């Protein structure tokens, strides 16, 4: 058989050359080495992060353990604040699943407290030393005082400046014997209230026209009538969008009355601070409501137009007119949804009212007080 030689100019190559194979294997080897190195680094960093988290937990446990003392002086059988001695405490070895930690604690003195520094150290898997440090302060307060946090505070502080409760005015004149005298703004010149400095209860109503209230003698000028005090402000906001927080309308003249509900109670008396600066958007008021036999009062406080002077001023002064004005009520001490005070057994402040145009909705946080509106059906 005759074999034919390949024709000139014809070439045929198949497979991979040795050089190309070596280059490909080298590239792949470098890539595998990089991946192995990356995984090793990630594993080491993850391990160190876990160890660091465990070290922080150990340090926090040590600090909280010292905070959990049951007594301030050293006491047998209980952990005490005085047991936390100053200086460096003994090292403590703490064994965990991923490492063995060394706990070091150093205590420094303070004024009524001690500063503690906690250091936790360990050796990671590469033999490198690692550590974290936390600093805190431990107060030398008797743990029994923590019970104060669960004590419900009284509705008002026991005493204010001048040894008076908020039920009495700081402008009152001290009469001695724990009593003070006060002439309410807007009241007749001879009207004076005497209240108890400690309780804030109005104890007597006096007829004393003199200017110097320190000369008042309760036994000669007063009659006893224990009463609660209701006080607050009347604000004015006219227009389609009234506001109780930012009233923009000038004050108008008005009066207030305290009407008792029920045969066991008596009407009170109210006084409104006279209009002194028409540009003010508020005025203050005080109402004295007599206590019943059980020392309570049930009734309501209402705004009324002032009496018409004779002769009337020309032009007339702006004043409350319930034909064109409505009254909204809001306060911090009682439920504003209730139109009256039921069984009032203490003095109240911040019982406020807002005068708006008739038919305008009372702003958020207030309720219509005058005239009363029926609840919508359904």
* Tokens encoding 27: 């590239």
Please state, for a pLDDT cut of 70, what percent of the chain lies above it. Answer: 85
pLDDT of res. 133: 94
Cα–Cα–Cα angle for 341, 342, 346, rounded to 5 degrees: 75
- Contacts (Cβ under 8 Å, ≥6 apart) of 175: 181, 194, 213, 214, 216, 218
Cβ proximity of 301 and 348 under 8 Å: no
Each residue of 185-206: pLDDT tens digit?
889 989 999 988 887 889 999 9
**Residue 370 above 80 pLDDT?**
yes
Mean per-residue pLDDT over the chain, rounded: 83
* Closest alpha carbon to 123 in 149, 101, 139: 101
* Closest alpha carbon to 256 in 298, 286, 290: 286
**Residue 40 above 90 pLDDT?**
no
Dump the DSSP string for 131-180. EEEEEEEEE---GGGGGGGGSPPPSS-S-BGGGB-TTS-TTSEEEETTEE
pLDDT of res. 82: 87
**Residue 136 above 60 pLDDT?**
yes
Least confident of 119-128, 257-266, 318-327, 335-344: 335-344
Q: Give the pTM.
A: 0.56
Each residue of 82-133: pLDDT tens digit?
888 888 989 999 998 888 999 999 999 887 889 999 999 999 888 889 999 9
Q: List the beta strands (DSSP E) in the chain.
A: 87-88, 92-95, 100-109, 113-123, 129-139, 173-176, 179-182, 191-196, 202-207, 222-236, 255-260, 269-272, 282-290, 297-304, 325-331, 341-344, 351-357, 367-370
pLDDT of res. 14: 60
Residues in the chain: 378
Beta-carbon-side half-sphere exposure of residue 62 (alpha carbons within 13 Å): 29
Cβ proximity of 230 and 351 under 8 Å: yes
Q: Compute the Cα dihedral for 319, 325, 330, 336 and give only its sign.
A: positive
| Domain segments of the chain as ranges | 19-140, 161-370
pLDDT of res. 376: 43
Cis status of the peptide bond prior to 53, with omega within 30 of 0: no
Confidence at 333, pLDDT banded by 50, 70, 90: low
Confidence at 5, pLDDT banded by 50, 70, 90: low
Distance of CA 126 to the CA centre of its chain: 52
202 or 24: which leads in pLDDT: 202
Phi, psi of 31 (to 5 degrees): -65, -45
pLDDT of res. 117: 94
* Tokens encoding 289: 């409501």
Q: What is the pLDDT averaged over residues 302-316? A: 84
Task: Name the DSSP class of 312.
Answer: P
Contacts by residues 65-69 (CB-CB < 8 Å, ≥ 24 positions apart): 66/116, 66/138, 67/138, 69/143
pLDDT of res. 349: 82
């Amino acid at each position: 058989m005759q074999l034919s030689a390949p024709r000139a100019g014809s070439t045929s190559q198949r497979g991979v050359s040795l050089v190309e194979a070596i280059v490909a294997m080298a590239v792949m080897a470098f890539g595998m080495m990089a991946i192995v190195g990356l995984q090793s680094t990630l594993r080491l960093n993850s391990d160190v992060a876990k160890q660091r988290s465990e070290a922080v937990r150990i340090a926090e446990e040590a600090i909280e353990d010292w905070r959990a003392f049951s007594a301030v002086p050293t006491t047998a059988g209980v952990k005490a604040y005085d047991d936390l001695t100053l200086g460096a405490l003994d090292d403590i070895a703490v064994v965990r699943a991923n490492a063995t930690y060394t706990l070091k604690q150093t205590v420094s003195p303070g004024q009524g407290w001690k500063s503690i520094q906690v250091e936790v150290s360990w050796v990671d898997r590469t033999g490198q030393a690692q550590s974290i440090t936390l600093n805190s302060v431990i107060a030398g307060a008797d743990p029994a005082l923590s019970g104060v946090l669960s004590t419900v505070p009284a509705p008002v502080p026991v005493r204010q400046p001048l040894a008076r409760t908020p039920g009495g005015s700081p402008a009152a004149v001290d009469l001695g014997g724990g009593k003070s005298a006060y002439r309410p703004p807007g009241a007749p010149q001879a009207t004076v209230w005497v209240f108890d400095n400690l309780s804030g209860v109005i104890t007597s109503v006096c007829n004393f026209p003199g200017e110097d209230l320190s000369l008042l003698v309760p036994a000669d000028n007063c009659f006893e009538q224990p009463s609660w005090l209701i006080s607050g402000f009347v604000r004015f906001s006219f227009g389609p969008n009234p506001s109780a927080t930012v009233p923009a309308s000038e004050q108008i003249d008005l009066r207030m009355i305290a009407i008792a509900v029920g045969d066991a109670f008596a009407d009170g008396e109210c006084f409104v601070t006279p209009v002194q600066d028409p540009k003010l958007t508020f005025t203050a008021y005080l109402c004295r409501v007599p206590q019943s036999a059980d020392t309570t009062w049930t009734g309501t406080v209402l705004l009324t137009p002032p009496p018409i002077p004779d002769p009337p001023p020309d032009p007339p002064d702006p004043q409350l007119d319930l034909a064109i004005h409505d009254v909204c009520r809001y306060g911090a001490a009682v439920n504003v949804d209730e139109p009256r005070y039921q069984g009032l057994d203490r003095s109240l402040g911040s019982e406020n009212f807002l005068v708006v145009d008739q038919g305008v909705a009372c702003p958020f946080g207030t309720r219509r007080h005058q005239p009363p509106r029926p609840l919508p059906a359904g």
